[in-house]
Each structure stands twice: as C-alpha cells, then as structure tokens.
Amino acid sequence: MARLGYGAVAWEGSKPRFIGAGVIRPLGEGAERLSFVFRELRRLMREFAPELAVVERAIFGPNPSSALALGEIRGVCLLACAEEGVPVVSLSPAELKRSVAGHGGAGKGQVKRMVRLVLGMEDRLGADEADALALALSAPVGIPLSGRGGG
C-alpha cells in the first residue's frame, strides 16, 4: 500500500461540513510501515476527535499479495480506532458508492464529483482523499462526526 486517504466532516444538523482530508504515505517496510500508519492514525484521531470512524471493508481480488497488504492496513486502522476509543462502522465499496452517488457501480470520478458537490469544494481533492471523505459522508444517519482544530 503506497498511500492511505483520510477525511473528516462535522455534521451540523443534516448538513456536512468539511473539516480536513489528506493522505498518509507510509514509510519503511513490513512492521515498520504498519507502525508508521498506526502512529499517524492515532495522531489524526487526536487532532480531529472523531465520534465515529468509517473504514472500508476489504474486498479481495485475484492478487493475494495486495489482499494481504490491504488486510494488514485495515487491521491497523481498526486497532488505532480501538486504542483511541473510536467506534468503527465498516462499509463495502458498493455500499459506499450507493450512499454517495446513488448506485453501487459508480466510478471514482462520480464519487469524487458528489463529494465535492455535497461539501461545496473546489476540485482540489485527490482520489484517496475523495474516497475517505465519501466514507465520512456515508456514516449512519444520527451518528455525527465532529472535529476540533482544523476548521
């Protein structure tokens, strides 16, 4: 895994507000790489103070090495959330696309456009940031995400 997107929104009633987004670019190899991601995620959770995290459910394709790497990173995400006391909801890619774009077969471009539209943003989002913000926007209704700092 070369990079991991993150995004945070705050809910003001039924309207989401952009808090922050970015990309973690892991350094090192093996366990050192996983440790780097873990530390960065904990730092970000302390910065944004989320009430809930939405983590994409791993979908396994034909490449076992990629599936294993994604599973390791997902496990690190879940562990970081547990260590920070942040509840986690998992969504499949199809559930995420259906929630944001209206159908589970939406392409990355369509998801990105919908995220920008809902959050009133210019076209300055990378694909990883847009995916992460789409996850944040897909949080179950009635369980808001909030943040401090950033703004």
User: What is residue 107's DSSP assignment?
Assistant: -
Name all domains of the chain by residue range, CATH numbers in brackets: 4-137 (3.30.420.10)
User: What gap in Å lies between CA 82 and CA 139, rounded to an integer?
Assistant: 17
Burial class (CB in 10 A: 0-12, 13-18, 19+), 62: exposed
Q: pLDDT for 28-43, tens place per residue?
A: 899 999 999 999 999 9
Its pTM stands at: 0.84
Please say whether the beta carbons of 80 and 94 come within 8 A.
no
Q: What is the pLDDT of residues 118-139, one digit of tens each?
A: 999 887 888 899 999 999 998 7
Strand 88-91, strand 53-56: pairing: parallel
Helix axes 93-101, 108-119, angle to 10 degrees: 50
Beta strands in the chain (DSSP E): 4-12, 15-24, 53-56, 88-91
Q: Please, are residues 44 and 7 in contact by the beta-carbon 8 Å criterion?
A: no
